[in-house]
Amino acid sequence: MLILFILCWIGIGYLGGKIAAKKGYSPKLGVILGFIFGWMWLLVALFLPRTTEAIEQDNFEKELAAAPKIANCPSCGKRIPFGSTVCPECEYQIGKR
């Protein structure tokens, strides 16, 4: 019974750290608070506002996901995969100066 209790407590600490990290707070702090306050901290953590860093990180990831995967060749203007070094159409070397 005691082992079960301890396992639960560790689980709460772990979860607290994960929630805190997701919201942009220190995961370590989340774990410590989880150990001290138990499930009450989990409830508080769930309703915590996200930090501006976390929101910015989210926006950055969204922008990355929305970024075009297709680029235009500067030489022939054909659509080529974004990040290509050589145009598959005209063999123009992109980025080489």
Binding residues vs Zn ion (CB under 5 A) = 73, 75-76, 87, 89-90, 92
Neighbour-count burial of 39, counting CB atoms closer than 10 A to its CB (0-12 exposed, 13-18 middle, 19+ buried): middle
- For residue 61, the minimal CB distance to Zn ion (Å) is 31
Give the residue with the Cβ less far from Zn ion, 28 or 79: 79
Give the residue with the Cβ less far from Zn ion, 58 or 89: 89
Give the residue with the Cβ less far from Zn ion, 39 or 84: 84
- Which of these, 56, 57, 6, 51, lies nearest to 29 by C-alpha position? 51
